Amino acid sequence: MSRIYLPSQGDEDWRRLLADPVKHWREGYSAMCLAKSWENASGLPSEIARLIVSIGPSPELLVALPEHKVPLPGSRRGDSQNDLFALIRAGDETVSVTIEGKVDEPFDQPLGMWLANASAGKLERLAFICDLLRLTQPLPGNIRYQLLHRTASAVIEARRFKTDAAAMIVHSFSPTRRWFDDYAAFVALFGAPARPDQLVCVHSESTPRLYLGWASGEIPSRTQSLVVTS
């Protein structure tokens, strides 16, 4: 996998990185909403900045990498392909952030389904994630596996870039906050409450500190112009 990244010229550059650039690129769906929201922002979308400010003042986007892959052990398809990975500066703190975009699409499979007839590789991967996130098995079968490996990605990259904190944020464009209950069940694993548009620190004593958050955004207008970067 190449470690060379090129500057974006607009949301169409995000499209070519998708696993299925035709099926996954549709108006009102998460991939397009996320791309337009972040491109239009020329930095951090306001709903993301409002969460990060709880870590430090004046949040600043340093770099954002769409469809960023983070290697995980125990599977032939060994990468967690995150919708967006960002390094953010907030005051004196640097934060490694994975962003999971959502509109009406669910968080993929619940853990009980994902573990059905699980291979040794899957069991190895889950053990690695639980150890990394300081979670004790067995986990409830209704927990969405996608949230587990997206959060693990944030911690892995925080250690790689030596940041002060890691965060996994669901960037939701659903007006009804669809699937928030699944997110709340995941946050509860850490003994913490989940609230929309708040960042909660679930591991304050660890290095890096770990945060989870839900940011409510609006579906970008079809006619909204995009900021083009050079």
pLDDT higher than 50, residue 51:
yes
At residue 168, the pLDDT reads 98
At residue 40, the pLDDT reads 94
At residue 211, the pLDDT reads 98
Q: Is the pTM of this model over 0.85?
A: yes
DSSP assignment of 77-108 equals: S-EEEEEEEEEEEETTEEEEEEEEEESS---S
The DSSP 8-state label assigned to residue 118 in this structure reads -
Range scoring the smallest mean pLDDT among 1-15, 93-107, 181-195: 1-15
- C-alpha distances out from residue 69 to 7, 50, 124, 224, Å: 17, 26, 19, 29
pLDDT tens string 131-162: 999 999 999 999 999 999 999 999 999 999 99
What residue segments make up the domains of the chain, in order of their start?
13-216
What mean pLDDT do residues 72-98 have? 92
Residue pair 138/145 in contact by the 8 Å Cβ criterion: no
Higher pLDDT, 174 or 26: 174
